[in-house]
Amino acid sequence: VDRYNRGLEKSRRTFGQKLTALFTNFNGVDDDFYDDLEETLIGADVGFDTAVQISDEVREEIETNHVSGQKEISNLIVAKLVSLYTRNGTKEDNHLVFATEGPSVFLFVGVNGVGKTTSIGKLAARFKKRGKKVLLAACDTFRAGAIEQLQEWGKRDGVPVVAGPEKSDPAAIVFDAVQKAKKEDYDLVLVDTAGRLQNKVNLMKELDKMRRVITREIPHAPQEILLVLDATTGQNAMNQAKVFQETTDVTGIILTKLDGTAKGGIVLAIRNQLHLSVKYVGLGEQVDDLSPFSPQEFVDGLFS
Ligand code: GDP
């Protein structure tokens, strides 16, 4: 929790400070107040539509229930932010789905540099610590150095990596990985993929082929297709997410580099505009810098 709070310090400090600043020289709510609220939310990358929606809902509640105190209003904003996040989801929706029997397979998708390989390395360590037998599959055969980077993580975590030559067919490597997982009773296979958004048709074909290979070997797998997004890229991350959603059945988001941005509001935009849950957040470059995402904890920290 300490690490989690430290990682989010930047987001909280600035987003929180700006929200708190809404109440300097506060003489009750007026149109300026709602304008400032919208501006603050937009500045935190909540997204325009989401900002307007929050502001409208806050206004309606304030007017209907005659809410007036500063404390009450900030509590109302916090509650609204959390409810916007949890509205279409279940409480436990940062949980990842595992197979009830046999190996589970998680595919990691996302463009280069967002933190796919790093997140896989962190998650492998996390699940290994919980007693799971974890295997990594180096199916990003496109980016130079991606295979070695995953192998580095494998060494660090003490987890084997199935890999092939650069530029080879990722479907062949994932095939080897799931075969090995079945034969040697692995619990979990984490699959790195190439994020070539430039060619959507090729990307779609490649991901489809990998999924077919996996499902043929292990019915119900892959259990998760996790889209990795870089929180520091704001609206760009939202655009990437839209393309990936059109390309494959994304089951959840890993939002990285939340430690490096004051724009933590993107978690609300992802939820409200894309209807996807943020399962984990990346809070730094070290192996422990990954945390399950909790909307309540996140939003609670904004005004404190
Ligand atoms: P990939 O191309 O998607 O596999 O991205 P990488 O895993 O290679 O990550 C790209 C860079 O981002 C690396 O330098 C990572 O150390 C860094 N990185 C990944 N996740 C985080 C994070 O949560 N916080 C910070 N500060 N850096 C991160």
256 CB within 6 A, ligand 1: yes
Atom of ligand 1 nearest to the CA of 118: 7
**Contact predicate 114/133, CB 8 Å:** no
Dist. CA 19 → ligand 1 center (Å): 29
- Tell me: the pLDDT tens digits for 69-96? 888 998 898 888 888 877 765 545 778 9
Q: Return the best residue to mutate from 256, 267, 291 for the ligand 1 pocket (most ligand atoms within 8 A of CB).
A: 256
Q: What pairs with residue 254 in β-bridges?
A: 228, 280
Distance CA 70, CA 28 (A): 8
117 CB within 6 A, ligand 1: yes
Highest-confidence segment of 57-66, 93-102, 232-241, 266-275: 57-66
- Angstrom distances, CA of residue 96 to CA of 132, 188, 223, 225: 14, 12, 8, 10
Q: Where are the alpha helices (DSSP H) in the chain?
A: 2-7, 9-11, 17-21, 31-43, 48-65, 70-86, 116-129, 146-157, 170-183, 200-217, 235-247, 266-274, 295-300
Q: Tell me which residue has its CA closest to atom 6 in ligand 1.
A: 115
DSSP for 108-161, please give it.
Answer: EE--TTSSHHHHHHHHHHHHHHTT--EEEEEE--SSTTHHHHHHHHHHHHT--E
The yes-or-no verdict on residue 275 having pLDDT over 60 is yes
The yes-or-no verdict on residue 207 having pLDDT over 70 is yes
- 304 confidence band (pLDDT: 50, 70, 90): low
Q: What is the pLDDT of residue 11?
A: 67
The yes-or-no verdict on residue 245 having pLDDT over 70 is yes
Instruction: List the Cα angle 118/283/299 in 5-degree steps.
Output: 140
> Which value, to the nearest 10 degrees, does the dihedral of the CA atoms of residues 8, 13, 19, 25 take?
170
- Average pLDDT value over all residues in the chain: 89
Q: Do β-strands 278-282 and 290-292 pair in parallel, antiparallel, or remain unpaired?
A: antiparallel
Atom of ligand 1 nearest to the CA of 282: 23
Structure tokens at 148: 């070695």
- 198 confidence band (pLDDT: 50, 70, 90): confident
121 CB within 6 A, ligand 1: no
Dist. CA 15 → ligand 1 center (Å): 23
- What is the pLDDT averaged over residues 269-297? 88
- Tell me: the pLDDT tens digits for 29-76? 889 899 999 998 888 888 888 899 999 999 999 999 999 888 899 889
Q: What is the pLDDT of residue 151?
A: 98
Distance CA 8, CA 296 (A): 13
Instruction: List the Cα angle 3/157/284 in 5-degree steps.
Output: 30
Q: What is the pLDDT of residue 254?
A: 96
- Tell me: the pLDDT tens digits for 100-147? 999 999 999 999 999 999 999 999 999 999 999 999 999 999 988 999
**Contact predicate 226/251, CB 8 Å:** yes
- What is the pLDDT averaged over residues 155-171? 96
Structure tokens at 237: 């991350």
What is the ipTM metric for this complex? 0.99
Question: What percent of the chain is modeled with pLDDT above 90?
Answer: 58
Q: What pairs with residue 243 in β-bridges?
A: none
Question: What percent of the chain is modeled with pLDDT above 70?
Answer: 94
Q: What is the pLDDT of residue 224?
A: 97
- What is the pLDDT averaged over residues 241-270? 87
- What is the pLDDT averaged over residues 273-296? 89
Q: Which of 178, 111, 123 is CA-nearest to residue 150?
A: 123
Instruction: List the Cα angle 9/35/48 in 5-degree steps.
Output: 70
Q: What is the pLDDT of residue 88?
A: 60
Dist. CA 152 → ligand 1 center (Å): 14
